[in-house]
Chains A and B, each alone.
Chain A
Amino acid sequence: MIGRIAESLYWLGRYMERIENHARLIDVAYHMQANHMGQDLHPWTELIDTFGVPNELLLKNPIDSESNVMQLLVFSRDYSNSIISCLVSARNDAQSVRERVPSELWEAINGFYLWMKDETAQAMLHYPHSFFQKIKEQTALYQGIIESTMLRGQEWHILESGKYIERAENTLRILKVIISEHKRTVDFDNCLALLKSVSGFEAYRKCQTSPLTIERMIEFMILNAIFPRSTRFALNHLNNHLHSLFHANIAASKTIQRVMRLTGRMHAQLAYMEIPEIIESGIISFLIEEISVCNTIGQAIETIFNTKEVSVLPF
């Protein structure tokens, strides 16, 4: 496969996953507002931190009201991680590869965009839950089309690689923000909100009957092997997709070998790790370390695409 195509597929996978994560996160945060009532903490600070909105944008876009926050996180075209920006990027990438993916997939993304581009913060606040529900349905439709119509060829493996690296990193990032915000005093409500934001509460209940604690929640979200949004699960899948892509290729380049090594190692570490080890080494520093490994893997994957600048000799 051509590097440019692979790059577009990879980012399509990442952006669509990011949209879903962001929608879940905002939805839960929105409906958690009640818990913040009477506290000093601004109800949106945590959310803004999770997103990592750059300061200069915060100066330009005051987050003093619901509709301003929604405007920034959902509808701002200036903020590259807003839902609409991610969707525009995903659509651009889909357009670059539209002949490589099922036409339904392109139509689903295009339809999603055509709906979203006419929405506004003011309007969506009349029906916030069904608005986020609609986004989740759109991403589910996208996943469903991939699941049921896409050839399990290179295109699919790359698309899925993008999805899983994004997911692995995203889960770690949410945990880090919540835990550092509340230091060690993460309470039941926080844990509950967190699990809900990854649609993990019901799943957690199926795996664990004991009371929800921060340790158990971290174990579930990072080390669980069968919960699809856990970091371990995501890395396992990333690892498998990369193997399918490159395993047959004996003369794999150094860049490919490096990516395989990095993901393999991170997955193995999570697979054999126990929760006390994490607690002992300090949760926050553990999360920071793992997020940085995810970043390194992401950058290493991008080097495989090898899209270089072109220069002309002076004459």
Chain B
Amino acid sequence: MKFNISHLTKYKYASEIADSVNEIRLTPRTNTHQTCLQSRITTSPQAPIYTYEDYFKNLVYSFSVADPHTLLTIHSESIVVTSNEEPVIKSVLTGAQELEELASERFLDDYAEYLHPSEYTPITPDISQMASQFEASHTFASLADKLTALTAQIKNDFTYDPSATQVQTKIDEMIQLRRGVCQDFAHLMIALCRTMGIPARYVSGYQYITDINGGNADFEQASHAWVEAYIPGVGWTGFDPTNNVPINWRYIILAYGRDYKDIVPVKGIYHGTPQQKLDVIVDVRQIN
């Protein structure tokens, strides 16, 4: 499916600010799931843009605005084609083979960074307890089954609530509240996977939502976050613990990382007042 994406970020400052330095991770990736046909980023005030690929192969745009200004807008526009194939989550190795692979020295080395706790996905007593309860509650024939069940359970046990948490919320707080947003759901699942020895990474992107008739929705589309876990023999496989639906043509991938900290879509630091107002307008439209 082909999409036209427009992601507009506006910062309005209470008084003139200067020396703003920024980093943007808003360019869709190209991989087996999707192809990014076009992409561009424009800023106002206009600024020369420096790009590079980070450790996780995300394309990063960086720019600075030295002169005083009170308004900063960053507009990212892209055209992406996603694969129409419905994903099938199925292991190819036997459960025993999978476990053997997960425990092998080579595997532990190859996926080391996705098995290690990170700032947003620490392995806390709460997490360890949740993981062992989950593992004790069922027997799973394969890793694919286990991850599918885990996704369903998180969706079931937690409530989506945009007012419950902030961007800095760590998973322990989310577990206490039993609610959160997609970022918290993703961090929780990543931490649980890693505790169980399954490599997991954070995915940022968009989820295309249609109205009842299947047309372009006129309500605001929001950025989304989900998880990819590594199934030996299969590879990185997507799961959405917020919605518990398959990662299909509706999902558009922007960036990968160990956790949110690696993929922050817009970062910036400047000289001047901390008082500012942020507006984000995301529009994802299906095109022919």
Interface residues of A (CB under 8 A from B): 308-315
Contacts and interface: CB of A to CB of B under 8 A. Distances in A.
Interface in B230-287: 264-274, 276, 278
A313 B276 contact: yes
Nearest to A313: B268
A315 B265 CA distance: 8
A315 B272 contact: no
Contacts of A314: 167, 276, 278
B17 interface: yes
A309 B266 contact: no
B270 A311 contact: yes
Interface in B1-44: 11, 17-19, 22
Interface of B: 11, 17-19, 22, 167, 264-274, 276, 278
Contacts of A310: 269-271
B66 to A, nearest CB: 13
B18 A315 contact: no
Contacts, number: 40
> What 10 pairs across the A-B complex have the smallest Cβ distances?
A313-B268, A308-B271, A311-B274, A315-B264, A312-B269, A315-B267, A311-B270, A314-B278, A310-B271, A315-B266
B11 A313 contact: yes
Most buried by B among A310, A312, A314: A314
A312 B273 CA distance: 10
B268 A312 contact: yes
A311 B269 contact: yes
Contacts of B274: 309, 311-312
A313 to B, nearest CB: 4
Contact of A315 (B167, B270, B271, B273): B167
Contacts of B268: 312-313, 315
Contacts of B167: 314-315
A308 B276 contact: no
Nearest to B267: A315
A27 B264 CA distance: 63
Given A314-B278, A315-B167, A309 B264 contact: no
Nearest to A315: B264
Contacts of B270: 310-311, 313
Nearest to A308: B271
Contacts of B278: 313-314
A314 B278 CA distance: 8
Contacts of B265: 315
B158 to A, nearest CB: 23
A242 to B, nearest CB: 24
29 contacts: A308-B271, A308-B272, A309-B271, A309-B272, A309-B273, A310-B269, A310-B271, A311-B17, A311-B269, A311-B270, A311-B272, A311-B274, A311-B276, A312-B269, A313-B11, A313-B22, A313-B266, A313-B267, A313-B268, A313-B276, A313-B278, A314-B167, A314-B276, A314-B278, A315-B167, A315-B264, A315-B266, A315-B267, A315-B268
